[in-house]
Amino acid sequence: MTIRAVVFDIGNVLIEWDPRHLYREFFDDQDALMEDFLSTVCTPAWNLELDRGQSWDEGVAALVAEYPDCAELIRAYRERWHDMVPGEIPGTPELLEELKARGVPLYALSNFSREKYVETRERYPSFDLFDGLVISGEVRLVKPDPAIWRLLLERYGLDPAAVLYIDDLVENCAVAEGLGMRTHRFSGAAKLRAELEERGVL
């Protein structure tokens, strides 16, 4: 079936996101200590609850209470969050613009806290190219729960067989495939462009 809509993940597909951009400043060249902090204190699981809709006030306060010696580092995760996002992924905004110019319906599906999504959208006009977005912090569902993909399909009336879903994580692509979508594991705009051309979308 012809691809009639393209769905983008946001983090590390449209914009770069990595806490290490911030925390290297705190840990200097001590990468092992930084990785220990990110795996035991400000963990991916903790961040996922913020993406699920937990308030930053609640999330930060609970973690500071558990790790009072790390209070400054924990608060920086919220207060300097934008230092984790140095910019857009090279080439992806241009692909969005080309797809938009060709009349291809564009959507975004992303794990993103509502507060930081609103702030980030103000930084990057590329967000305005999407015809619709499903943001986890707004709907209180997170990938890889299939329910968030189903919500996207239902909300925008998309036929999964006619959707190309783009994500940098293998597990998310696997869920999308299980729901009947075509997928592209993102590893750079050049490879994505090649696939879009191969599929006749560009």
What CATH number should be reported for the domain whose range is 5-16+87-198? 3.40.50.1000
Using CA of residue 117, residue 123, residue 126, residue 128, what is the dihedral sign?
positive
29: confidence class by pLDDT, cuts 50, 70, 90: confident
Segment 152-187, tens digit of pLDDT: 999 999 999 999 999 999 999 999 999 999 999 999
Three-state DSSP state, 102? coil
Q: Are 47 and 59 in contact (CB under 8 A)?
A: no
CA-derived radius of gyration, the chain:
18
> Residue 161 phi/psi, 5° resolution?
-70, -15
The domain locations on the chain are: 5-16+87-198, 20-84
- Model-wide pTM > 0.85: yes
Asked whether residue 195 carries a pLDDT value surpassing 90, the answer given is yes
Please report the pLDDT score of residue 107 as a whole number.
98
Mean pLDDT of the chain: 97
Segment 49-85, tens digit of pLDDT: 999 999 999 999 999 999 999 999 999 999 999 999 9
DSSP 8-state class, residue 3? -
Please report the pLDDT score of residue 130 as a whole number.
98
Please report the pLDDT score of residue 1 as a whole number.
73
Rounded Cα distance, 153 and 147, in Å: 10
